[in-house]
C-alpha cells in the first residue's frame, strides 16, 4: 500500500493537485490511500495523521506533496510522524520558491529531506536547488501527462490574425497583466493584428487589473477573457492558437506549459525558476526576462510572419512533451521508486 498526502481540494473549485492526478495513476502500480480533502487546514492535517496511523502496518511508502508555502509545515509534520512510526516517506518537491523555503527554514528542510527514503522533484531546477544546499540525492520524475489526450494542433489557415493562448490562474504571481502589455505593444508598435484568449480562475484582484488595462488600451476587440474551463473546453479553444504565452513571475515545471507543448504550441515564456529546464530557448519557443514585455513582443513578432519556423517549434514542443508521457516515460520511473 502507498499513502499519498496532499491537498485534495478540487471539489471546492481548486485546481487538482499532484495527490489527485498522480495519485490516480499510481493505482496502476499499487493500492493507494490518499488524504486530505478536509477544507479546514487544521482538520486536514489531523486527517493526514489519522490516515498514516490507521494504515501504519500496511504502508510501504508515504508520498508527501511538499510546497514552499505554509503547506510545508503540513508536509514536515507528516514526515516527523512517519519517522516516529518507522514508515518510509518520500517528499515530492513542488514550487518555484522552494529555495526561499530553504533559506528561511534550512534546519527543518534538511532534517525532513535527510530522513526520507527518497526525495523526488519534477525538474532539474529543483534538483539543483536542493543538491546545491544539502548533500542529498534527488530523483527527477517529471510531471506526467497522458499524451493520448492531446491532439497535435496543425498550423491553421491564415486568417490575418496572430492568435495567442494564455492558460493560468488570474493571480499576481502569474502576472496576467503582462499579457495585456504585450498585446498592446504588438498592436501599436509592431502593427500586428493579434487576438489573445486568456483562460483561468480568478484568484485575487488580478482579473480586475487585466480588465482595467484592456479598457485603458482599448483592447476589447483583441482580448477574450474566460473563467476556469474544463480540459475539453480549453483544448478546443487552443486549436485556434498560433502560440502559447506564459507570463509567470515564479514557476517550476508548470503543467500548463507541458500541456501546451503536447498540443504542439510554440512557447513564449518568462525565463524564471525551472522554465529554462523545460523550454529550451530557440528549440520549443523563446524565453524572455520576467516583466520584459518589449522582449516578449519582439520574439512574438519574429514568429508572426514565419510560419515555417513556427512549424519547427511545434514539432519540437510535441517531442519534448513525449518525454513526460505517463505510459511511455514516467510510469517506469515511479515503479522504480515504489518497488
Q: Which residues contact 5 (CB under 8 A, 6 or more apart)?
A: 19, 34, 35, 36, 48, 51, 52, 62, 63, 64, 65, 74, 75, 78
CATH of 148-322, one of 3.10.310.10, 3.40.50.300, 3.40.630.30, 3.40.50.2000: 3.40.50.2000
Cis check for the bond before 36: say yes or no (omega within 30 of 0).
yes
* Average pLDDT, integer, range 3-21: 89
- pLDDT of residue 69 exceeding 90: no
0.85 surpassed by pTM: yes
Q: What is the DSSP letter of 96?
A: T
pLDDT in tens, 114-159: 999 999 999 999 999 999 999 999 999 999 999 999 999 887 767 8
- Kind plus residue range of the DSSP H or E element containing 186: helix 176-188
pLDDT in tens, 294-308: 999 999 999 998 989
> Do the domains 2-144+326-338 and 148-322 sit in the same CATH topology, yes or no?
yes
pLDDT level of residue 97 (50, 70, 90 thresholds): confident
* Average pLDDT, integer, range 213-228: 97
- pLDDT of residue 19 exceeding 80: yes
Helix count and strand count (H, E) for the chain: 14, 12
What distance in Å separates the CA atoms of residue 220 and residue 214, rounded to the nearest whole number?
A: 6
- pLDDT of residue 260 exceeding 90: yes
E strands, 162-222, where? 162-167, 194-199
CA-wise closest residue to 67 among 19, 111, 10: 19
* Average pLDDT, integer, range 14-21: 88
- CA-based diameter of the chain, in Å? 66
- pLDDT of residue 88 exceeding 80: yes
pLDDT of residue 159: 81
CATH of 2-144+326-338, one of 1.10.599.10, 3.30.70.20, 3.40.50.150, 3.40.50.2000: 3.40.50.2000
Cell of 247: 507570463
What distance in Å separates the CA atoms of residue 68 and residue 105, rounded to the nearest whole number?
A: 10
Give residue 264's region: left, alpha or beta (phi > 0; psi -120 to 50).
left
Domain ranges of the chain: 2-144+326-338, 148-322
* Average pLDDT, integer, range 192-219: 96
pLDDT of residue 202: 92
pLDDT of residue 33: 97
Sequence length of the chain is: 339
Q: What is the DSSP letter of 149?
A: G
pLDDT of residue 112: 97
Amino acid at each position: 500500500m502507498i499513502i499519498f498526502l496532499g491537498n485534495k481540494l478540487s471539489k471546492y473549485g481548486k485546481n487538482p493537485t499532484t495527490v489527485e492526478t498522480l495519485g490516480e495513476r499510481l493505482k496502476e502500480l499499487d493500492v493507494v490511500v490518499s488524504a486530505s480533502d478536509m477544507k479546514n487546514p487544521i482538520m486536514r492535517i489531523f486527517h493526514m495523521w489519522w490516515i498514516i496511523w490507521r494504515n501504519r502496518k500496511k504502508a510501504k511508502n508515504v508520498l508527501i506533496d511538499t510546497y514552499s508555502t505554509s503547506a510545508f509545515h503540513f508536509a514536515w509534520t507528516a514526515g516527523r510522524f512517519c519517522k516516529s512510526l518507522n514508515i518510509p516517506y518520500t517528499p515530492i518537491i513542488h514550487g518555484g520558491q522552494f529555495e526561499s523555503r530553504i533559506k528561511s527554514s534550512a534546519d527543518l528542510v534538511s532534517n525532513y529531506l535527510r530522513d526520507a527514503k527518497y526525495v523526488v522533484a519534477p525538474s532539474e531546477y529543483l534538483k539543483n536547488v536542493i543538491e546545491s544546499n544539502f548533500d542529498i540525492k534527488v530523483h527527477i520524475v517529471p510531471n506526467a501527462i497522458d499524451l493520448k489526450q492531446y491532439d497535435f494542433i496543425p498550423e491553421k489557415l491564415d486568417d490575418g490574425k496572430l492568435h495567442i493562448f494564455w492558460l493560468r490562474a488570474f493571480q499576481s504571481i502569474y502576472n496576467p497583466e503582462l499579457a495585456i502589455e504585450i498585446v498592446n505593444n504588438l498592436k501599436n508598435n509592431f502593427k500586428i493584428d493579434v487576438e489573445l484568449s486568456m483562460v483561468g480562475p480568478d484568484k485575487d484582484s488580478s482579473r480586475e487589473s487585466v480588465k482595467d488595462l484592456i479598457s485603458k488600451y482599448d483592447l476589447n476587440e483583441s482580448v477574450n477573457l474566460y473563467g476556469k474551463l474544463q480540459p475539453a473546453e480549453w483544448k478546443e479553444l487552443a486549436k485556434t492558437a498560433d502560440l502559447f504565452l506564459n507570463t509567470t513571475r515564479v514557476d517550476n515545471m508548470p503543467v500548463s506549459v507541458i500541456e501546451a507543448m503536447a498540443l504542439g504550441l510554440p512557447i513564449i515564456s518568462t525565463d524564471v525558476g525551472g522554465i529554462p529546464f523545460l523550454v529550451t530557448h530557440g528549440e520549443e519557443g523563446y524565453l524572455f526576462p520576467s516583466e520584459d514585455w518589449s522582449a516578449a513582443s519582439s520574439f512574438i513578432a519574429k514568429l508572426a510572419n514565419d510560419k515555417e519556423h513556427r512549424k519547427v517549434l511545434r514539432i519540437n514542443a510535441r517531442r519534448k512533451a513525449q518525454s513526460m508521457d505517463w505510459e511511455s516515460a514516467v510510469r517506469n520511473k515511479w515503479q522504480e521508486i515504489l518497488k
